[in-house]
């Protein structure tokens, strides 16, 4: 058993006896009181690209600045046009905000969901502080800086220039600058759950045991009394099911908390006959509601998701969820898209998850950094198992400052996302390019920090570019490898044998494939293409499909691989690239960067992974042909597919691998109509394309 959370062990703890409750036909319902407020501050900003002296001052004249709303990045265009010359420097944001008189006596915290990568924040010229790290949430206490009932000026200086003290130093994607996630004002009572615990929720749900009969959960509440006098405090935890019925309700005896003092309280609750969070099949969620009460008044309420589940990773049999084998096959995800770069809104996050669910993925690696909270919430709700990681990519700086920043970002990742049941794996790094003492010391420190912060989940490291058996792979509890056979080296048929060698070399090591894939342009096509040059301009869509067909067959046959992750779900900006006819774009996505086009390989995986009826003619975008001889290839989860060409039958085909082929097909001059039909789960399905031979 790993070490218990040191930030709990060091705290003052109160542990109460278990309380057991179960829903019934007449179970009481619960609605959490609205004790705290969130004010959206996304609109009304003015922006200046470039540094400006004195822009933090209240009286500074920003009337000539650009008016905009956040999320915003200044690299939406130049970060994706090639040349590796996008702007990396300072940008300023300013806005006015009148604090309502009703907020008098409340605590005010400015919250930023993400700003890349260094943010300095002022209110009315008062400096609140600096946050270093472009991907995690951060908060600043601003109560004394704001003037209640009056106009206030918020000024934020953001800098995305390279900084040797901050991870990542480099990576194969553009580092968009700006306030690219939501901004809000959090308004709480002086007696509240702690707000400045690395911007975490202040309530942490540790699942001690989960069986069919009962689930036991430790609920740690980190509360703080910001009043100038002591308070008598009661902490109440209410667990509700998806319908709002109370399934556990516990209040601790009142205790006194001193002025300007904090205390951590642990309550142990037990839920009988728990409804488990069970991946795609049943992503069931409870809510854990924690009330802070004083003199009969609820001063604060925090509600966190609770998904009850167990998991394990075995070096021979792979991943299990709730005691049964559960195949983890999925995709890597970047937070980038066409036209907006990193400034992705909630509706766009949801669209991404709709596409990931459509393809039938069971897991997501949220590479290579902490993602927006919306993504983790969607994963909870959709039943997708998550690998979350920090942006320790490629290189490190051998310095105390860099180590401290990497540890800070890992603590923020874990505390801010501790309660998401979808998260199983904490990633401590990706593709370190050297296997030296400094790198291994840092990785060992980060693996130990995962053990300290979260004794129950699994640390993992994604390796590439150094020896597969090197020391960098020895620190995390699980190993993963980025393998691009058939793209950067070798043949795509080499993948399975290489993984077998890794497994044979260390049979006790738990192995995953964290990245594999190939580039593809939706406007470039070839019949049975040879491997293209990864950095070249010719990336036919058909080659990507062939690589994934071969790769998945090898992966699907190897039970010991606990997870597989396609690189990438979507094309994304990497301004240093110039290939595939798309400068500034990494085109390994299964879907284009604008989310408009699902590539052929997308449907190959959908036919293999999803239960929804799939019937798809490949090479459909190769509409203009110059050669009459061709083949017809179809991806489907049907048992049999029938095809016609210009109304003439080509016959039926069966398949054991969801790939149906008709060879020796001859097109006629002019338009050719190809149609395929199948019956899937009792429903007739048809797909049609037109290919024109000139």
- Cα 444 from Cα 447, distance rounded (Å): 5
Tell me, yes or no, whether 62 lies in a domain: yes
| Whether the predicted pLDDT of 1 surpasses 70 | no
| Whether the predicted pLDDT of 255 surpasses 80 | yes
Residues of the chain with pLDDT > 90: what percent? 96
Number of Cβ within a 10 Å radius of residue 482: 19
Strands 385-389, 363-366: pairing kind: parallel
Provide the pLDDT confidence category of residue 7 given band limits of 50, 70 and 90. Answer: very low
In three-state form (DSSP H/G/I as H, E/B as E, the rest C), the secondary structure along 213-254 is CEEEEEEEEEEEECCCCCEEEEEEEEEECCCCEEEEEEECCC
User: What pLDDT sits at residue 25?
Assistant: 42
Tell me, yes or no, whether 346 lies in a domain: yes
Distances (CA, A) of 299 to 189, 196, 265, 391: 6, 17, 16, 37
Q: Do 175 and 212 fall into the same domain?
A: no
Tokens of 421: 């049941």
Tokens of 516: 């594999």
Tell me, yes or no, whether 101 lies in a domain: yes
| 102 CB-near residues (< 8 Å, 6+ apart) | none
Q: Do 94 and 218 fall into the same domain?
A: no
Which domain range does residue 172 map to? 38-188
* Long-range interactions of 615-620: CB distance < 8 A, separation 24+: 615/641, 615/676, 615/677, 615/678, 615/680, 615/685, 615/686, 615/687, 616/687, 617/674, 617/676, 617/687, 617/688, 617/689, 618/542, 618/545, 619/525, 619/527, 619/541, 619/542, 620/689
Q: Do 421 and 542 fall into the same domain?
A: yes
Report the pLDDT averaged over residues 585-607: 98
Please confirm, yes or no, whether 549 is among the known catalytic residues: no
Location of structure tokens 């409340």: 106
Q: Do 438 and 584 fall into the same domain?
A: yes
Q: Do 358 and 400 fall into the same domain?
A: yes
Q: Do 377 and 480 fall into the same domain?
A: yes
Tell me, yes or no, whether 573 lies in a domain: yes
| β-sheet bridge partners, residue 283 | 277
Among residues 431, 453, 477, 541, which one is catalytic? 431
Q: Do 381 and 415 fall into the same domain?
A: yes
Q: Do 645 and 510 fall into the same domain?
A: no
Strands (E), 394-439: 423-430
Tokens of 473: 């792979």
Q: Do 126 and 209 fall into the same domain?
A: no
Predicted confidence (pLDDT) per residue in 422-481, tens digit: 999 999 999 999 999 999 999 999 999 999 999 999 999 999 999 998 899 999 999 999
- Among residues 612, 646, 669, the one where a domain terminates is 612
Q: What Rg do the C-alpha atoms of the chain give, in angstroms?
A: 27
- Among residues 136, 158, 188, the one where a domain terminates is 188
| Whether the predicted pLDDT of 14 surpasses 60 | no
User: What pLDDT sits at residue 13?
Assistant: 32
| Whether the predicted pLDDT of 12 surpasses 60 | no
Report residue 392 CA to chain centroid gap. 15
Tell me, yes or no, whether 270 lies in a domain: yes
Q: Do 25 and 53 fall into the same domain?
A: no
- Cα 134 from Cα 320, distance rounded (Å): 33
Tell me, yes or no, whether 4 lies in a domain: no
SS3 476: coil
| Whether the predicted pLDDT of 23 surpasses 70 | no
Number of structural domains in the chain = 4
- Cα 481 from Cα 495, distance rounded (Å): 11
Predicted confidence (pLDDT) per residue in 623-679, tens digit: 999 999 999 999 999 999 999 999 999 999 999 999 999 999 999 999 999 999 999
Predicted confidence (pLDDT) per residue in 321-364, tens digit: 999 999 999 999 999 999 999 999 999 999 999 999 999 999 99
| 330 CB-near residues (< 8 Å, 6+ apart) | 356, 361, 362, 363, 364, 365, 384, 385, 563, 564, 565, 566
Provide the pLDDT confidence category of residue 22 given band limits of 50, 70 and 90. Answer: very low
SS3 458: strand
| 277 CB-near residues (< 8 Å, 6+ apart) | 283, 284, 285, 307, 308, 309, 380, 383, 421
Q: Do 164 and 94 fall into the same domain?
A: yes
Report the pLDDT averaged over residues 504-529: 97
Order of strands, edge to edge, in the sheet holding 648-654? 624-625, 683-693, 670-680, 640-645, 648-654
SS3 607: helix
pTM listed for this prediction: 0.95
Q: Do 354 and 428 fall into the same domain?
A: yes
Distances (CA, A) of 673 to 440, 648, 654: 59, 10, 22
Tell me, yes or no, whether 8 lies in a domain: no
Q: How many angstroms separate the first and last alpha carbons of the chain?
A: 69
- Cα 310 from Cα 229, distance rounded (Å): 43
Comparing 559 with 9, the larger pLDDT belongs to: 559
- Among residues 159, 188, 217, the one where a domain terminates is 188
- Cα 670 from Cα 687, distance rounded (Å): 20
Tell me, yes or no, whether 5 lies in a domain: no
Report the chain's mean pLDDT, rounded to a whole number.
95
Are 285 and 307 in contact by the 8 Å Cβ rule? The answer is yes
CATH classification of the domain holding 205: 2.60.40.10
User: What pLDDT sits at residue 27?
Assistant: 72
């Amino acid at each position: 058993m790993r070490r218990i959370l040191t930030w709990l062990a060091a705290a003052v703890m109160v542990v109460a006896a278990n309380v057991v409750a179960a829903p019934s036909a007449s179970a009481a319902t619960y609605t959490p009181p609205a004790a705290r407020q969130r004010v959206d501050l996304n609109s009304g900003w003015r922006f200046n690209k470039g540094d400006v002296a004195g822009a933090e001052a209240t009286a500074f004249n920003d009337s000539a600045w650009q008016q905009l709303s956040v999320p915003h990045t200044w690299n939406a265009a130049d970060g994706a046009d090639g040349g590796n010359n996008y702007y990396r420097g300072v940008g300023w944001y300013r806005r006015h905000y009148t604090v309502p008189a009703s907020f008098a006596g409340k605590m005010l915290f400015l919250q930023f969901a993400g700003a890349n990568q260094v943010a300095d924040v002022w209110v009315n010229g008062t400096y609140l502080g600096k946050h270093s790290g472009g991907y995690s949430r951060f908060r600043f206490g601003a109560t004394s800086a704001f003037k209640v009932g009056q106009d206030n000026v918020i000024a934020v200086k953001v800098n995305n220039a390279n900084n040797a003290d901050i991870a990542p130093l480099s990576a194969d994607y553009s580092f968009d600058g700006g306030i690219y996630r939501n901004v809000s004002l959090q308004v709480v009572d002086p007696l509240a759950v702690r707000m400045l615990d690395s911007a975490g929720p202040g309530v942490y749900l540790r699942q001690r045991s989960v069986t069919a009969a009962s689930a036991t959960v430790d609920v740690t509440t980190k509360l703080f009394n910001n009043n100038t006098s002591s308070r008598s405090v009661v902490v109440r935890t209410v667990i509700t099911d998806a319908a709002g019925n109370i399934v556990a309700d516990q209040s601790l005896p009142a205790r006194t908390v001193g002025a300007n003092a904090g205390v951590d309280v642990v309550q142990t609750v037990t839920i009988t006959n728990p409804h488990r969070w069970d991946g795609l099949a049943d992503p069931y969620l409870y809510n854990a509601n924690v009330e802070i009460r004083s003199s009969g008044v609820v001063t604060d309420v925090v509600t966190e998701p609770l998904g009850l589940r167990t998991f394990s990773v075995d070096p021979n049999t792979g991943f299990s969820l709730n005691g049964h084998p559960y195949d983890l096959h999925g995709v890597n995800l970047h937070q980038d898209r066409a036209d907006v770069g990193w400034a992705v809104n909630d509706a766009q996050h949801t669209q991404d998850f709709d596409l990931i669910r459509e393809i039938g993925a069971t897991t997501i690696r949220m590479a290579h950094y902490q993602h927006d909270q919306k993504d983790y919430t969607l994963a909870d709700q959709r039943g997708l198992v998550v690998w979350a990681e920090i942006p320790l990519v490629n290189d490190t700086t051998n310095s105390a400052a860099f180590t401290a920043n990497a540890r800070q970002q890992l603590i923020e990742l874990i505390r801010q996302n501790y309660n998401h049941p979808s998260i199983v794996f904490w990633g401590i790094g990706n593709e370190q390019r050297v296997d030296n003492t400094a790198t291994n010391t840092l990785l060992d420190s980060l693996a130990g920090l995962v053990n300290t912060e979260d004794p129950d989940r699994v640390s993992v490291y994604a390796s590439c570019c150094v020896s597969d058996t090197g020391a960098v792979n020895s620190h995390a509890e699980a190993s993963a490898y980025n393998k691009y056979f058939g793209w950067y080296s070798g043949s795509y048929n080499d993948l399975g044998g290489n993984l077998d060698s890794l497994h044979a070399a260390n049979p006790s090591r738990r192995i995953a494939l964290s990245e594999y894939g190939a580039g593809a342009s939706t406007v470039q096509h070839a019949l049975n293409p040879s491997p293209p040059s990864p950095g070249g301009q010719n990336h036919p869509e058909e080659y990507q499909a062939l690589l994934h067909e071969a790769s998945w067959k090898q992966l699907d046959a190897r039970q010991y691989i606990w997870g597989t992750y396609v690189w990438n779900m979507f094309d994304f900006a990497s301004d240093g690239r110039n290939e595939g006819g798309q400068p500034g774009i990494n085109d390994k996505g299964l879907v284009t960067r604008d989310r408009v086009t699902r590539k052929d390989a997308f449907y190959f995986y959908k036919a293999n992974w999803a239960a929804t009826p799939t019937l798809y003619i490949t090479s459909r975008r190769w509409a203009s042909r110059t050669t009459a001889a061709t083949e017809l290839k179809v991806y489907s989860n049907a048992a049999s597919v029938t095809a016609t060409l210009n109304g003439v039958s080509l016959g039926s085909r069966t398949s054991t691998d969801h790939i149906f082929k008709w060879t020796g097909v001859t097109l006629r001059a002019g338009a050719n109509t190809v149609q395929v039909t199948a019956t899937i789960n009792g429903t007739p399905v048809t797909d049609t394309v037109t290919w024109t031979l000139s």
